[in-house]
Structure 1
């Protein structure tokens, strides 16, 4: 029969054995994560100033990867996350560079009219995708400049110009960043789509992107020949997805959303669903709607974070949720330019 001392030694021995196994496993996991980080750095051409910054970024990367893997492992998800170009940024850092940088647009909106008011919902197509109709330019990338508002407004304008004239122009977001500075908009520090439309009307249109290229920072306002114009803009009735559907069936629409959530940061595919906020801090464009294979209805959105984010730069968000403000507040402040 074993003595108490022998039993204690046996227990301690087992504890040490299992601790050693766990330590070895953690070391192995860390080694695998280091390899994953190195491959990610090569994929996105990420270079750090020194070993200290690299070590700090590795810890952020590791935490984000674990969050992504944990999210994707859960059952009954309608969408999934991916290790994209934002994987070494904390959520606070991501918010500071990719959304409106703390800019809060005015919620007060004067009456503009809504030309699609009397359109019958029953008469609308079941699926709309303005890409298939040639009214959407390729995905763009705003970089480190918080001017999502300009990309959203331009995407909506590019759409209505194509619908009205038959010509698709890639228009200049940089012109808005540099020149729309006397209203609410603040260049790379944030802005508002309605304010952009007001500027474009007063400016007599916008230049081609090829003439006035994007530089992802605030610049000095220049004058180039305008290639496209709009005559006005209208606001979609707030908190009314049926009204938004009427508008999107007829043209791409600028939409404001709460885009700072971690799931938004790492969205990779599927129909975004579940809970998210309504702190409107990001501008995108609604370019269609449809129904996924599992029956989930969705809005099709164009973003401005490059093609390595989301579904090659695009996003699907659940449509017709009980909350009248819509997924991430998408139904709160939609608007569109008019020809």
Structure 2
């Protein structure tokens, strides 16, 4: 057989062609393998962080306009500006830590962001340490040598006296907190978001989040908000009752009533049973305690445009809360520290150490976020705070106290009844 001789250039062309085909097949095979692998793998699990948007940071003048803030002098303006900037730094760091799964909650900017920690403590003035085991209380939050030094410094001050605060002191404390938070270890893992939530607003009766301003009357606002819900549930329409009426006139029922300086829900219950309720439209909120406009000698039967009949606040054990929430919201007391006032979102693990104060709020539901079970709480810091006025507190925290959980109970199984006061005299409120 004769030998077949192909041109030299032709052989090179064939070889190049074969190499090209081999490369294309290899790439195609790799691509097909990767695509097949992707199709076989489950889709990535979405968590709350996947749709998380960092709080919008606004300049200080815009903050003033939005929150209707005015300052008496340039010195005061400069002081508040420094406090605001320090809070922004904390917010930026906390949101980064939340997004990177170093924390389950984050801080936010709200209308309290120009106040010092000492000023914020006036919002919940009752000292509070219900835990029998101090170490258990401390497990709920960040503990550091700097924070312990800060606590010691506050403990050395005379009770009842407020130390004059300077902006640079606040900045120093903020930097200490930032350093403590940055040293924390990564503790939050990627977890599934389970839509397992109960929200009491199924009837559309949940009152809007009130703003207590500088008045420490959270216990009054929480109780009055509960009565508003009960009224709506019974009458199928919303109404707003006056918390200011109880702040000003509560001393008529309880001689040691402190109004804006803290108190207890049972004091409010006692007052309402004796002196009734006023509408907020007739007796609006001022955010400070004033002299009661009703003269001491006026018979209580002439007070209160509306009377709440046969209802009392009953204590309840934590084990029964979820079942009771299917019927109505309830009043709870939680232990809080300064970080609570700056809460922006997520599930807060809670802090209720030896510096914690008692804060009364309305418990309105529960749920799960990224594997963290939480209680859903309606606060009294306005709609711009937290989740549209709401707070998510981890169920694992010891910061919700068994001794101060109350639900409304109609006496002798009767219905909740709000009746117009037939003896009411609107001339007594001057």
The TM-score with structure 1 as length reference comes to: 0.73
CA 1:316–1:146: 2 relative to 1, 3 Å:
same
Given candidates 135, 142, 151, the residue that maps to 2:221 is: 151
Contact 2:335 2:351 in 1 (8 A): no
Aligned match of 1:284 = 361
SS in 1 for 2:271: helix
Match of 1:251 in 2: 328
The equivalent of 1:178 in structure 2 is 248
* CA-to-aligned-CA distance 1:87-135 (integer Å, 9 cap, x gap): 1111111112x22x3466999xxxxxxxxxxxxxxxxxx6321223223
Q: SS of 2:347's equivalent?
A: strand
| Distance (Å, rounded) in 2 between the aligned partners of 1:213 and 1:61 | 30
Q: Distance in 1 between matches of 2:266 and 2:391?
A: 22
Q: Counterpart of 1:287 in 2: which secondary structure?
A: strand
CA distance in 1, matches of 2:408, 2:272: 10
Query: Which of 371, 376, 389 is matched with 1:300 structurally?
Result: 376
Q: Where does structure 2 lack aligned partners over 5 or more consecutive residues?
A: 1-56, 132-195, 295-302, 411-430
Q: Provide the C-alpha distance between the structure 2 equivalents of 1:185 and 1:210, rounded to a whole number of angstroms.
A: 24
Query: Which of 374, 387, 393 pairs up with 1:311?
Result: 387
| Aligned residues of 1:253 and 1:334 also touching (Cα < 8 A) | yes
Residue 263 of structure 1: aligned partner = 339
Structure with higher Rg: it is 2
**Alignment-derived partner of residue 189 in structure 1:** 261
What is residue 421 of structure 2 aligned with on the other side?
none
- Seen in structure 2, the aligned counterparts of structure 1 residues 196 and 40 have a Cα distance that, compared at 3 Å, is same
Match of 1:137 among 187, 207, 210: 207
- Kept in 2, the 8 Å contact 1:233–1:338? The answer is yes
Q: 1:305 to 1:92 in 2, by over 3 A?
A: same
Q: Which residue matches 1:115? A: none
Say which SS state the counterpart of residue 86 (structure 2) adopts.
helix
Name the residue aligned to 1:27.
Answer: none
Identify the match of residue 60 of structure 1 among 59, 83, 88. 83
Could you tell me how far apart the structure 1 residues matched to 2:331 and 2:350 are?
A: 22
Structure 1 residue 36 displacement after superposition: 2.4
RMSD of aligned alpha carbons: 2.7
Give the secondary structure class of the aligned counterpart of 2:59. helix
**C-alpha contact 2:128 2:335 (8 A) present in aligned 1:** no
Secondary structure of 1:53's counterpart equals helix
For residues 127 and 95 of structure 1, the distance between their equivalents in structure 2, rounded to whole angstroms, comes to: 31
Which structure 1 residue ranges, 5 or more long, are not aligned? 1-33, 108-125
Which of 283, 305, 313 does residue 225 from structure 1 map onto? 305
Report the number of matched residues: 275
SS in structure 2 of the partner of residue 137 of structure 1: coil
Matches within 5 A, 1:69-218: 69-74=92-97, 75-76=100-101, 77-96=103-122, 98-99=123-124, 101-102=125-126, 127-181=197-251, 182-183=253-254, 184-203=256-275, 205-218=276-289
CA contact (8 A) 1:256 1:280 kept: no
